[in-house]
Chain A
Amino acid sequence: MRPKTSVGAWVSAVVVLVATAGARPCVGQESRIGNLIGHAPAGKKVYRRYCILCHGPDGDGTGENAMWIDPKPRDFTLAVFKCRSTPSGTLPTDEDLFEAMSRGFVTTNMPAWLPLSHQNRADAVAYIKTFSPKWSTLKPGTPIAIPPEPAATIESILRGRGLFQKMECWKCHGPAGHGDGQSAKTLTDNKENPIPPYNFSTGSRFKCGVTNRDLYRIFMTGLDGTPMPSFADDLKPGEAWDLVHFLRTLQPLETPEAAIWKAWLASHAKDLKPIGPAGSGQ
């Protein structure tokens, strides 16, 4: 009697062990990038060669290099991502992760992974999704609708300037968009690490893209895990495009918006009320 029970116990222990091992990352997750299907087991190989030193063996952003890096590598165990096409608080789409990986993150240590094949990147996306149970229990959000961009006009730019004042973007990004607003120095991310607001005078690229559509998406979805909130409940699509047109005038670029703005400013600079606590936008 006794030996039998003991064998039974061993068998069930082994079964339990195997079952738990199966629940750990890797098995099951796939990614879909257009017609491409990424597989987690193949992604694990990519990850362990190219990603592990920063993002760590457990995907929690504590790889060997992490201590030397600022901003810190993404912690995939939280399943919170900056660059999404989906509303704040929802998971990004596979394409969002694929594009973020391909684009890299400007002003950070995350390079553009264009040297990896499309298949490698799709596989890595699938593997990244094994680090959080949220990928099994929740579905990615529905990408926000972005209507076609209306023409950039001085009226649109001025309305956008009014919104920059009204939505109080200047409190973090500063009156001129230099990332020096009154709250700028107090900002921290979801791990309590200091994080500066974007400085529009530094160049042409954002963390989440380069185009006007990317810019629209950034403030309408918010950058989750950072102080940058979503304005989707507060701005109508037309207003969002107005804000895009104004934000482009803050960058040192030869954009159509900047040309319109400079031409108008040459004769109207005196009419503008300053942006900031005492100003009213225009």
Chain B
Amino acid sequence: MNFSKRLLIYVILLVTLNIFCFSFVNLLGWIFDLSNDLTGSDPPMIAPFLAGIIVALPIWVFTWRFAQRISISNPSESNSKLRNLYLNIVLGISIINISLFGYRFFVGFHQLFNEFRFGYIASLIVWLPIFIIHIRPAQKEWFSENARARIHELFLNITFLVSLILIFISGRQIILELLNYILRLIFPEDVLVGSNAFDYNSGDISRLIIGIGLWFYAWNLRIKKSDLDFRTVDISVISVSQIFILFVSLFVILGQFIELLLGLDNIQESFIGRFEFFPEVFSFSIMSILIWSYYSSSFIPIKSGMNFFNVSSSINKWIYRYSVRAIGVIFIIAGAVSGLSFLLGLPIQFSKPDLLIPDEMGWETGVISASISATIMGLLIFRYINYRIKKDISVEEQKIKVEKSYLYFVAILFLVVLVGALIAILTIFINNLLSGEIGLSTLNIIRWPLSFAVSSLFILILYRKNISTQFKASSVTSVKEYKVEIFDSGSLEKHKDQLSKVFKVKKWNSIENIGKFSIDKSQIENIPNELEKIGSNKDYLLIDLDEKNIWVYYYNN
């Protein structure tokens, strides 16, 4: 089937299916809404829905059967991108509708008989069969080496990431309420008016259940079982982002405690007032450590040997370690910048305090507590991860690659910061010089960019040897990359992995041989007769073998 015909078929399928489903959901909603307080009791209002069903359903059924028949008889048709796109769009719409039903169902579950309306079931009745009909062809051999369904991978990946976000947000909200409740229990005297009970939000519970359901389907039943490259990316991104959230939340908690210490006896605060920040931040810590523990168990060896799944590549381990090292460096720099800025602010504090924006204590306690907290966090993270990296004596290709990326990251980031800070300092300085306002106010404005510049310069000097070695090494030992486009008539298939290692494969074409023809007038005129057996909707390939002969092939995919 050619592209335009295929496009027409799947557009018709998508449009008619959506018209049918929309009409059917509304019709069922009207039927189930027994008291008619949602849709109104006027029967003529269902006319467009009935018309939609009568028109769209037969067209969809006919077109779907036609598309199915062609895809069964022709394997290349069943693997076509348009078909996969259609199937996965429908799966996406179905899963959104089923999830919305699930959310409403669980939210209204505790009031099932007075609040919950049967109208909610309409979307489930319509979209669940649609999901079941489309899931089988969509996930057919989606992970096989020969015909990987990339679009289905994308669909699974999006579902998985959305599920994880739902789990994180709702789980964090539930933990927040629990911690707030514990805080109120510890010091009930702080509650002036109102109930001290646990705040139950059915919306959060419902979101969590839906998130777990989607996660179970997309991750546990699908992605987890195949060690594909996008799973590696997922695990790296999740592990690094979660450990980053954990470190940032611990940094905030530590900073707040230090600020409380610095501001002691300045103001009389209640227990809850003083630790109001703690549930807000610690709920992030708990959720991130839960998710991190699960995903990092696949590549960080633990003595108990407890890991929830395995990854074959060591790339995750090295990406994680060097990302944590980068986080450590960023914390150290943040500590140095805020500490330096605080020190530069001291002369202003003593001579012109009105230039500063003081905290309640009258000093920039927020800045110094953030500096101490970031420095403690940064040093602990940096030393710990360096110890882990040094202890692992295995010399792996992935480690070298990731280390190189880490050094490039450090070099580029701090160079950009240095240049930006220098431009800012000079702009402010020249501006104040021209207007004749050089003084403590200038120092006050430039102390932050100056701190950034000094700290970035310090890091660049510290890493100068590693960076220059890395640049020299990469210029000497850089491996040339050869890009190839492969036309495989069957014999190269079994060497696909090896070829991918040696070359950068731009495109893999599967071709079928038609025959060898002489380059003369009668033979060339004879070629179309041979091609008639294959059909005119194929793409053909003619390659000259020598001065007298050509090979004729057709594309198989």
Asked whether A and B interact, the reply is no
Binding site for A on B (CB under 8 A): none
